[in-house]
Amino acid sequence: MAGDAGQSLSAAVPAAPDALTARRRWLIAFVGLLLLFISSGVGFYGFSAFVKPLAAEFGWGRGEISLAITVQFLTTAAVGPVIGRLVDRYGPRRPMLMGLFLYGLTLLGLSRMSTRWHLLAGFVSLGLGSGLFGTVPVQSAVAAAFGARRGRAVGLVTTGISLGGVLMTPVAVLLIDSLGWRLALVALGLGILVLMPPVVAAAIRLPGRRLTDRPGGSSPSFGAIVRQPVFWALGAAIFAGSLGSLATLFHLVSFFTDRGIDPLTASVLLSLTTAFGILAKVIFGFLCDLISARRVMVLTFSLQVAGLCGYLLLPPGVAPYAATAVVFGLGMGANSAVHPMLASQTFGLGTFGTVFGALVAFFQVASALGPAMAGLAFDLTGSYSAAFLTFLGGLVVGLICLGVSGRLLASAGRS
């Protein structure tokens, strides 16, 4: 590994298991893409299409309904390390199947909801279900299948997150317009229950040996890893640098229309951001095979800083906002591809699921808090400037924490 990847606390990641053919490895990657497509496309992006129908039927405020998304993110964050431990012990296949059944059944249950607590309880269940079949088990499966130079595969798999945003919202709208919101949830739930478990059961078959990158099969325990200052430095970097990623995306159309851009053009600019977010996953996932993921994060944080500065300082207009959307999309979109590479390059694969689940929790909490912070800032000031400045500050803190982690890694390499 080039750059400072050699200063990681573990040796190089093992080569891809010989027992898997290239075709089988890429099949695992494709199924992982589908699972991330579902977890993001149904539970986050697609849910936006249900906000107005729920508000119209029950008289709930949009803030009350949107709280369900925050509850889902916080639930996934809370269970991440536990799910990671399950994956480390039993492999990713069993948790994935459990999560898919829970997710599909929860959507069927939500189709019968009539009170706010039904909604919130349902999204707790969705958060647990998506945790069981989503990011942590998917990336653990990719790690087991591809081994050392898997950045390209990680980048491809994580495009499922952005593709969920591009495709699932219009699908949800069509289902609601054709069937009503209750039957739309039934259709989504049944589709997941019928189609995905057989696919996962057939495709996610991995060698039985435990993942490790240490001679003799020994790896540091999760307890030993969380006692290392570098773990907390990287967790703080992920949290601080991610506060504004999803929040900016969530409020971007409102920001553009507040600045005089018409709604259709604003939606196109949002799509441009998402499109370059997809490209970023592939580019920066591959780059993590060439230099350390920590250095790649420095680059992606810097791109987000440039993007937020563009939104704050450039005069309103389609051309400047389009250029800024490209820059911000490239920086923001790389998060989900870089984080798993950061975890494995720094701490190895022996307890990858548990460690990655813990690091993802920092991202999930930031993603839960950021949109609410931006909305509150707008309600208090009538502008998104205060929120964007806060997110800029978070990115600067994140860059500082990445610098601290580099010093800690260098120190560990000399000790």
Amino acid identity of residue 191, one-letter, is G
Whether 5 has a pLDDT exceeding 60, the answer reads no
Give the residue from 165, 156, 106, 171 showing the smallest Cα distance to 133: 106
For the stretch 66-85, pLDDT in tens is 788 889 989 998 888 889 88
Contacts of 162 (CB under 8 A, 6+ apart): 40, 274, 275, 277, 278, 281, 333
Q: Which of 12-26, 53-67, 122-136, 270-284 has the lowest mean pLDDT?
A: 12-26
Query: CA angle at residue 382 from 376 to 384, to 5 degrees?
Result: 65
Give the residue from 36, 69, 62, 49 showing the smallest Cα distance to 172: 49
Whether 216 has a pLDDT exceeding 80, the answer reads no
Q: Give pLDDT, residue 330.
A: 93
Contact 250, 48 (CB under 8 A): no
Token pair recorded at residue 114: 């009539």
Q: Give pLDDT, residue 6.
A: 38
pTM score, two decimals? Answer: 0.80
Domain residue extents for the chain:
3-11+20-210+224-414
Whether 177 has a pLDDT exceeding 70, the answer reads yes
Q: How far apart are CA 186 and CA 104, in angstroms?
A: 9
Mean of per-residue pLDDT scores for the chain: 84
Q: Which of 26-35, 122-131, 164-173 has the lowest mean pLDDT?
A: 164-173
Architecture of the domain defined by 3-11+20-210+224-414: Up-down Bundle (1.20)
Whether 222 has a pLDDT exceeding 80, the answer reads no
Q: What is the DSSP string of 134-189?
A: SHHHHHHHHHHHHBSS-HHHHHHHHHHHHHHHHHHHHHHHHHHHHH-HHHHHHHHH
Whether 414 has a pLDDT exceeding 60, the answer reads no
Eight-state DSSP code of residue 50: G
Q: How far apart are CA 22 and CA 14, in angstroms?
A: 16
For the stretch 118-149, pLDDT in tens is 999 999 999 999 999 988 899 888 888 886 66
Query: CA dist 220 to 25, 345, 346, 408, Å?
Result: 27, 14, 12, 17
Token pair recorded at residue 275: 């499109």
Q: What is the DSSP string of 339-386?
A: HHHHHHHHH-STTHHHHHHHHHHHHHHHHHHHHHHHHHHHHHHSSSHH
